[in-house]
Amino acid sequence: MLLSPKYRFLFVHIAKTGGTSVRAALEGLRWRDPWYWSMFLCSRLSHLSGHRIATKLPRHAKAIAAQEMLPKEVFDGLFKFAFVRNPWDLQVSSFHHIRRERPQYLGGHTEFEPFLRWKLDPERPYQYHVDTSIELQSDYLIDLHGAVIVDFIGRYERLHEDFALACERIGIPALALPHARKATDRSKDYRGYYTDATAELVARHFAADIALLGYRFEPD
């Protein structure tokens, strides 16, 4: 999550949706924000306290966390945005990320299909500890009543175009997106990783995302 009081925006960072590139592009704005150093100091104090004083919103905090922690007039005055990704594609990206950078979290499953079945098994304990992509993307965008509380939902599939729209809404020139964490270990389209059964497994687990965001296994 990235908050800018000066430019009055809140970026809700959902993992594996291009958010690292978005954060990198927006990072330069922080140096121009007169609130930056006080926010930096509070962040350091939060770190030293073990984050017990609640002055830092986590990198992948949900929008509702900011809604609860910020004064209503401040939260309502922010341009709040996030990026989302096709759930089937996101799971393939997550698998390669874990296999490349955190292989100890594979649970002994080095191929996509057995890993996915193990990861989404409701009987498996400590599910969150695999990675955040097991969570619903829609949960990052809604309040306790299920209402969407962000102003703009961009798509990973049109990241550059939608980020330019977000910059326009913020009121800044369109910023270039760096290719942060660009994947190099995927050799085929995400659909090639799935059988009918595993595609349906993702459809069931992420049904709320599919309903809210309109994604399909076969894109239009």
Residues 153 and 214 in one domain: no
Residues 4 and 60 in one domain: yes
pLDDT at 47: 67
Residues 175 and 75 in one domain: yes
Last residue of a domain, one of 150, 166, 181: 181
Cα separations in angstroms, 184 against 90, 105, 145, 192: 15, 20, 40, 17
pLDDT at 52: 47
The token pair that represents 165 in the structure block:
């729209």
pLDDT tens-digit map of 14-71: 989 998 899 889 887 877 777 777 777 777 776 665 644 445 677 889 999 999 888 8
Residues 212 and 106 in one domain: yes
Residues 72 and 157 in one domain: yes
pLDDT at 29: 82
C-alpha 30/C-alpha 210 separation (Å) is 34
Residues 12 and 58 in one domain: yes
Low-confidence ranges of the chain (pLDDT < 70): 46-56, 126-130, 180-187, 220
Residues 16 and 115 in one domain: no
pLDDT at 215: 96
pLDDT at 115: 94
The total number of residues written for the chain in this structure: 220
Q: Report CA torsion sign: 142, 147, 151, 153.
A: positive
Residues 128 and 194 in one domain: yes
Residues 24 and 69 in one domain: yes
SS3 readout for the chain: CEEECCCCEEEECCCCCCHHHHHHHHHHHHCCCCCHHHHHHHHHHHHHCCCCCCCCCCCCCCHHHHHHHCCHHHHHCCEEEEEECCHHHHHHHHHHHHHHHCHHHCCCCCCHHHHHHHHCCCCCCCHHHCCHHHCCCHHHCECCCCCECCCEEEEHHHHHHHHHHHHHHHCCCCCCCCCCCCCCCCCCCHHHHCCHHHHHHHHHHCHHHHHHHCCCCCCC
CA nearest 140: which of 85, 63, 28? 63
Residues 156 and 216 in one domain: no
| Domain coverage including residue 8 | 1-85+137-181
pLDDT at 55: 59
Residues 70 and 105 in one domain: no
Residues 50 and 145 in one domain: yes
Sheet holding 79-84: strands in order across? Answer: 2-4, 9-12, 79-84, 152-155
C-alpha 101/C-alpha 83 separation (Å) is 23
Q: What's the domain count of the chain? A: 2
